[in-house]
Amino acid sequence: MGALPVYRWRLAPDGYATRRQLRALGLRPGGQDVAAQLERPRRRRGPLVAYLYRIDRAKPVRPMTAARWAALARANAARRTCPKCRRDAGYVIPPSLGMCPACAFPDNAPEGASWNSSPHTAR
Residue 103 binds Zn ion (CB under 5 A)? yes
Pairing of strands 6-8, 36-42: parallel
The region of 1-9, 20-28, 66-74, 78-86 touching Zn ion under the rule CB under 5 A is 78-86
- What one-letter code names the amino acid at 83? P
Q: How far is the CB of 117 from Zn ion (least distance, A)?
A: 12
| DSSP 8-state code for residue 50 | E
Under 8 Å between Cβ of 23 and 61: yes
Residue 82 binds Zn ion (CB under 5 A)? yes
Under 8 Å between Cβ of 16 and 55: yes
Residue 93 binds Zn ion (CB under 5 A)? no
Residue 22 binds Zn ion (CB under 5 A)? no
Q: How far is the CB of 20 from Zn ion (least distance, A)?
A: 35
